[in-house]
Structure formats: structure tokens, C-alpha cells
Amino acid sequence: MKVTGLQVFWMILIMEVGMTLVMTLTPGVQAAKQDLWIAILVAGLITLLITFLVTNVTLLYPGQNLIELSQTILGKWLGKAVIVIYLVQWYTIIPIVLRQFADVINIMIMPETPKWAIMLIMILLFSYAAYSNGIVTISRCSEILGPIIILMVILVLLSSVNNIRLTNLLPVYADSGALNIIRGSLPSASYLGHSVEYLMLAAFLYQPRKGTPYAYWATIGSILVVTVALAMAIATIGINLTPTLWYPFFEMTRKISLFGFVENLDPLTIVTWVASVFIKLAVYMFITAYGTAQFLGIRKWRPLVIILAPIMLWFALIPRNVTEATTNYLMNYWVPFVLPVNMIGLPLLLLIVGKLRLRAQA
Amino acid sequence: MKRSQSFIRWFFLLIPCLALSGCWDRRELDEIAIVMGSGVDLTDDGQIELSLQIALPMGIQGNMQMAGKKKPVMLVSSKGTVSQDQIGQIQQQLSRRIFFGHRAVFIIGENFARHGVDQTLDTMLRFPDSRYNCFILTSKGATAKEVLSSPYPLEVIPSIGMKNMQVGKYTFAERIDKFLDSFAAKGFMPATGAIRLIKNGQESSFVIDGEAVYRENKLVGYLSGTHSKAFKLMRDQGSGMKIPVRIEPAGKLSTGMITADLLTTRREVRTFVSQGPPKIEVEFRAKGRIIANDTTLDLSKPANLSRAEQMLSNELQKMISGLIEQTQKEFQSDVLGFGDILHIQHPYAWKKLQTEWLDTYPEVPVKVLASVILERIGRTQKPGHLPK
């Protein structure tokens, strides 16, 4: 199973853009108000730091993925402890993303379809992608879907140009202040921080040493797309309504009205967004199955996909309502724990210990 | 091994096909009742009355020949206390499911508006099939139900007539999202177009010729006449507006009036904060052309043209300051959004001002400047009919 650098670029870009656009705008705006675009640039700096750490860690032992890497660097037991922390992240993010996906579909277009039906279709689809040929299938899919998704975002932005009122972005800074901007940047940073999955993906590259620029470009690309898109969403909807809507980005596409007959484009956007959710879930499904197999010393990872799929569906039905799935998970686990520990702390630890170890060997 | 793997793949792919075919939210065209317009009223006994104008496909199909025989729309309504609950009650009268996706107008009854628009607003935003491209109107001198049941000869469906009036630039138009936004804003009070019933000979119809002004969530009054015109100018909906003005005393052959057609308008608001209440300066600039000249003057002469420009500027200045005075003294409502501009220009001072802006606004001194440039004067120089 090998992938090219370009495929890794698209995978990381899709994982970062899709969910960030839809999920982080509301919590971000609630803190940073109309200065969210500054907050996202701050989040971008944090994300670039994460990418820097992650790419340098993979360069220490090219060809090893996170599971092998952490045991090589930190020794067997400490390494396994680190892996457990990441496994918790992977095992919880799949059900949550799945649930968030079902919530979007329920809230925006299909209020009466039961959520298990929506989830079932999605889980079978991405499990198929992960099962059939692992990372190769997924990366080829993302190579095709990635440009379509970005094209959709650009199209939505272009056709919203006549709806924006830039005065909605004023006054700059006065209403929020530095502290609120940083608070508003955290949700976006935690979603943009998916470059941390490069730790797992890098080992599958044909040339693991040359993957670094692709990871950087994916990060920079998604920061740009997200900044422009979210600033436009605020400029379109206005600062009074944005914090009260669940998915302001979709509401923006709802307002598109061109020449009096191109209207109600939101189902189109939601469908393309579903493609990005599919890639994200498939990547996570694959690395979870593959990582678990390696962690437990199981030779075949494929059967794990079949075992994991129903478990994930069951987990996804646990959150009682939309707030628990979207807000609570983000604000109580993802932002305060995953962002500082999984995305910054542990890669930093691996990098420092790994460097010292290599120096000691040399 | 290989066989079991391919079996599992097929399983993954075939099950979604089963699930995709059964769609819970499927709505065929002949199963939905398409709401074209809706309205809400407060009845005399304090109940809320919701009315829906529903398109009847049978009435539309037959085109013009059939139109006389079958009505193209039906009106259903229900009284109660909670608006969302009444949609359920109306549903009980209907064999098809209510569908709001094509709603063109939402009319707030005058009585309801005066008592405070609140609970219906949430319904507009929370429903998945509520759309933003729906216009908000407030009825004047009639209930929303009466307006919705009024026929309109020019269009098959009356609500479409209202919508097209709003899309055209001759009425003040406010869409749902902007209206809700101004409810949430502190420096910007809501306003909608005002719709009332008229009689054209025997036939009754409706007209949108004013604006309803709200203070917080309550209707406080209507703008009409020149103030309504000035309001559209100040809300950037003034292009194409015709402004008549007298530039010389009426003579034997002429009334002394010219009429200008405004092509582009631009308003600039400057705010000043120091001790006491803030000061506001409005500068209004317009470019226009003369479309009627009922005077003895030859407007191709620069002196005459600049006289016309001067008179027009004075007229606009009077219109706008009259409007501002009415909003300050009579309505005490900042419908022109000066508070928002103050917020942008003086964000730190606004933090203190915003809590009592409603009470400060009537006291704020506003200075109005207006200037008009006439770019063209039409096909004739001197009025052609005057004796040489």
C-alpha cells in the first residue's frame, strides 16, 4: 500500500477544510465575534506549528508510522501508552463525526429521516473504502473528490459575492480583544490540526522523506480557504445571527440568489460537503483499524474494519442530542485535551526524545 | 480468502442501495400544499390567527381560459395561542402536507405588530424549509388575512404579485434575514414595507406604498409620502425615484415644476463623539436626470441647470431632515441604523452608548447635507411646446 505526495496533500486538505467550514464557525464567532478571520489566522499559526512538529517527527525515522515510531523512540511501554492516547482520539472522533454528519442532514434537509438510516449508509460506504484496498482506495478517492470539493467552495464564495456586506466585519478588534480572539481561534485550530494524522500517513508515501512540503501546502491551503470562506459567511449573515445558527456556512449558500433563478443551492453544497466527510471518516477508519491491529500485534487489519463498523455506529447513537455531539465534544475534549496533548504535546515529546536518541547513537 | 473478501465488499455496497431507496423525507409534488404567502394577526379576543395562502395547481393549469372558473389559491387560517401549533391545526384541514419552501411573502397584521412581534419570528428561522428569499410586509388598516384574501388581477397568484412588487425597485423591500437581524441589533430598528387594500373602481386590490417602523419588537407607525421616499433614499433603495420640485413661480403656460429621476444615490454618515450625546452628520449625494420640465427656463443654460440642482438639493435636504425628525420625535426609533454606524466609527464609545441608545437617539443632533448633480436633461433643451 503506497500513496503519492499529491494524494496525501488532498487527504489532509479535505480533512481540514470540510469539517472546519461547517463546525467551527459558530463556537468561534461566539468568542471572537466579527474578528473571527483574525482568530483563524492565529489558528493557522498554531496549525503550522503542529505541521512543523509532525513532519519533523516523521523525518526522524522515515518509513515508520506513529505506532512503530513511538515505540522506537519512547521504548515499548511508554510508547504503547502514547499510542493509547491517540487511539482514544481516533475511536471517539469517528462516531462523533458520523453523528455530526447525521445532524447536519437532519437539521438542514431531511428532518424526518431517522438518523441511523443516514449513518448506516455512510458507515457502510466508508468501511467499504477502508476495507477494499485501505489507504490506496481512500487516497485515490480524495484525489478525485478533493478538486471537486474545493471547486464547490470557490463557486459558493463567488456566487455569494453580491450578498456580502463588508461593514458586518467592522469594527475590527474593538468588540473582541486579544483574549477573545485567541479563545475563538481554538475551535478552528483543533479542527485544522488534522495534519497530525500525517504521522500515520507519511509511512505510506513512496518517498517518506519528500512528503513534508505536501503537508505544509495542505495546511496553508486549508487555512486560506477557511479564512476567506468564514469571513465571507460572517459578512453575508451578519454578526447578530451567525452565533445563533448551527451551520452558518450552509445558511450562506441558502442565501445565494443569482439572476432571480439560481436559488436554493444548499442541497448541492451539502452533498459535496458529504464527500469531504466521507474522506475524513474513511481515513480515520483506516488508520484506526490499521493502528489497532499493529498495536495489538494482529497480522491482518482488514477484519478489524468489519468489527469496528458496528461498534462505531453504536457509539454514534450514544450522544443524546445535537449539543452533546457537536458542542460538548468539541469544547470538553477536543479543544482542551486533543489540541494541547495529541496535536502539540506528544509530537513535541517525540521530536525532542527522538532527536536526543539519534544524537546519542551518533 | 479472496471469495470471502469480495463477498464482504458486495455486502458493503448493496446494503446502502436498500437504504437509499426508502426515503423518509420524500415529498412528491401532488402530496404537498405549496404555501405562497402567509400572515399572522391578533384577533380582538387576544388570539393569534395564522393564515396561509396555498396555491391550487388545478386553478393554475388551465391557464387563462380556466382562470375564471377555478380559483388559483385557497386561504386557510386557524386561531390559537402558539403559532407553530396552529400550523398543525391548519394541517388538519388539508389533505396535503404544508410546504413553506416557496413562500414569497410573510405579512404581519397591524394589530399583531402593535402588540409586539415575537414568537412567530423563531418559526421563520428554525424550520428547515423556511427560506431567506421571503419578503416581510406589515399590513396597514387591514388584517393580514384580509390582505391575503384580496384578489389581484394582474397575477394568477396574489402573493406572487406582492413578491414582484417587492423585487421591483419601487417599493421598500425587506427580506426575512435582514428583518430578524435588525431585531437582534441594538443600533438598528426593524422596518418593513406597508401593504394596504385599495379599490380600483369595482375591483379591490392592494398597494405597497409606505413603510412600517418598529421600535424594538413593536410597530410604532407608518411612513408615507415624502418621508417614505426619503426613507428609501436613506436605505439605498432610491435609484429610479422621481422627485418633483418647484424652481420658478407658476406662470400662464407652466407650473414652474421640474421632475428629476435619481440615477445613483450615495449616503455617507459621519458620527462625532465628545461630551454629551453624539453628533451625526449625513451627507447625501445623488446623480440624476431631468424627465419633465414644466417651466419657461432653458435647462441647457448652465445657470438654469445649477439653479435646478440647487433647488433639488434643498428639496432632498428637507425630505431627509423631515424623515429623521419624524423617526426621532414621533417614533423614537433608529430605523436608519445610525447606531450601527456609530458602533463602527466609535466602537469604544459605543460600549457605553448601546445600553441606552433607544433613549439617546431622539436627542441626537443630526445635520443633513444634500447635493444633486444633474447629468442629462432629456431630449429637449427648452420645453418644446412654449411659443418662441
Q: For residue B5, which residues of chain A lie inside 8 Å, CB to CB? A: 302
**Confidence grade of residue B5 (pLDDT, cut at 50, 70, 90):** confident
If asked whether residues B138 and B284 sit together in one domain, one would say no
- Residue B127's pLDDT band, with cuts at 50, 70 and 90, is low
Q: Cβ contacts (< 8 Å) between A306 and chain B: which residues?
A: 8
Question: Over 70: is that where the pLDDT of B128 sits?
Answer: no
Same-domain status, B385 and B364:
yes
- Does residue B6 form part of some domain? no
Cell numbers 434537509 correspond to A109
Number of domains within chain B: 2
Mean pLDDT of B19-46: 79
Would residue B14 count as lying in a domain? no
pLDDT over 60 at B61, yes or no = no
Per-residue model confidence (pLDDT) at position B344:
87
- Chain B positions touching A251 (Cβ under 8 A) are 132
Ranges under pLDDT 70 in chain A: 260
In Å, what is the CA distance from A193 to each residue of A44, A47, A288, A332, A334?
Answer: 9, 5, 18, 17, 11
In the listed set B223, B247, B263, which residue is the last one of a domain according to the structure?
B223
Of B172, B200, B223, the position where a domain reaches its end is B223
Residue B70 pLDDT: 61
Q: Are residues B198 and B246 in the same domain?
A: no
B137 occurs within a structural domain: yes
Mean pLDDT of all residues in B178-202? 85
Identify the band that residue B99 occupies on the pLDDT scale cut at 50, 70 and 90: confident
Are the beta carbons of A254 and B185 separated by less than 8 Å?
A: no
Residue in chain A lying closest to B184 (CA): A240
Question: Looking at the structure, do residues B164 and B290 belong to the same domain, yes or no?
Answer: no
Higher-confidence residue of B70 and B25: namely B25
- Nearest-neighbour CA in chain B from A169: distance (Å): 9
pLDDT tops 80 at residue B57: no
Please indicate, yes or no, if residue B8 is contained in any of the structural domains: no
Q: Please report, for residues A242, A301, A311, A345, the alpha-carbon distance to residue A75 in angstroms, rounded to integers and kept in the order given.
A: 48, 23, 31, 18
Domain match, B194 and B57 both: yes
pLDDT at A48: 92
User: Do B357 and B267 reside in the same domain of the chain?
Assistant: yes
Dihedral sign computed on CA atoms, order B170, B175, B180, B182: negative
Please, which residues 321-380 of chain B have a Cβ atom closer than 8 Å to chain A? 340, 343-345, 347-348
CA distance B166 to B164: 5
Chain A partners within 8 Å of B348 (Cβ): 174
**The domain boundary residue, chosen from B189, B223, B257:** B223
pTM: predicted TM-score of the whole model, two decimal places: 0.82
- Say which CATH number the domain at B350 has: 3.30.300.210
Task: Please tell me the CATH code under which domain A5-361 is placed.
Answer: 1.20.1740.10
> Nearest C-alpha of chain B: how many angstroms from A333?
28
Q: Quick check: B68 pLDDT over 60?
A: no
Under 8 Å between Cβ of B96 and B59:
no
Residues of B in contact with A264 (CB under 8 A): 101, 131
Binary contact (A241, B184; C-beta < 8 A): yes
User: Any CB–CB contact under 8 A between B15 and chain A?
Assistant: yes
- Would the pLDDT of B388 be above 70? no
Angstrom distance (rounded) from CA A277 to CA A348: 29
Q: Is residue B17 part of a domain?
A: no
Mean per-residue pLDDT for B119-138? 72
Cβ contact, residue pair A124, B20, below 8 Å: no
Q: Are residues B281 and B360 in the same domain?
A: yes
Same domain, B171 and B246: no
Domain check: are B343 and B195 in the same one? no
In chain B, positions 141-170, which contact chain A (CB-CB < 8 Å)?
167
**Which residues in chain A are closer than 8 Å to B9, comparing Cβ atoms?**
128, 131-132
Q: Per the structure block, which three cell numbers stand in for A282? A: 474513511
pLDDT class for B83, splitting at 50, 70, 90? low
Domain residue limits at B98:
27-223
Domain annotation covers residue B21:
no
Q: Are residues B23 and A113, on separate chains, in Cβ contact within 8 Å?
A: yes
Tell me: do B43 and B177 sit in the same domain: yes
pLDDT in tens, A254-271: 888 777 677 777 778 888
With CB atoms and an 8 Å threshold, state whether A255 touches B22.
no
Distance CA A251, CA A130 (A): 32
Q: Tell me: do B105 and B184 sit in the same domain.
A: yes
**Residue A235, CA distances (Å) to A36, A41, A150, A185, B233 in order:** 11, 17, 20, 18, 23
CB pairs under 8 A between A and B: 75
Residues B43 and B175 in one domain: yes
